[in-house]
Amino acid sequence: MGCSHPIQSNLPISPATAEQVTAISLYNEESIKASGNDLLKSVEEFQIQITKLIEYALHIKAILWLESNKTCPSVHDLLKDTPSSWRGQVDETDFWGTEFVIDCVPAPTIYSAGPDKVFGTADDIHYP
């Protein structure tokens, strides 16, 4: 069971100490924000790397598709023969919910709109 009365101290708290406590609190708040920003940046970098790996796999499948079918495939075409054990793990969209795009001229290139979900911007991801 917890204590029902506040802990009291006979130590006086000087104005300087109160300012130090405020400064420490602000420093800790900034440190937490910085750590959170670093974590978000790491997560985004991870998502970008995984997107590149997915694009690489789709690129290989697109090359094989073109050899057999002589037409540019859709992402759906490339994934429709995915083993049932992979379904739900391999999707037609990137991490940000945007569908991958395949351009086959002159050779297959796989595109993701990237984190901003808009094609034609600096954060687009493509292979090759």
| Residue-range domains of the chain with CATH | 49-127 (3.30.700.10)
Cα angle 57, 59, 63 (rounded to 5 degrees) comes to 120
Q: Token pair 């670093």 is at which residue?
A: 38
Which is more confident, 107 or 84?
A: 107
* Sole residue written with tokens 């050779």: 107
Query: Which tops the pLDDT comparison, 122 or 80?
Result: 122
| Residues 64 and 73: beta-carbon distance below 8 Å | no
Report the pLDDT value the prediction gives residue 108, as an integer from 0 to 100. Answer: 95
Express each pLDDT in 13-52 by its tens digit: 555 566 666 666 666 666 666 676 777 788 889 999 999 9
Total-model pTM: 0.68
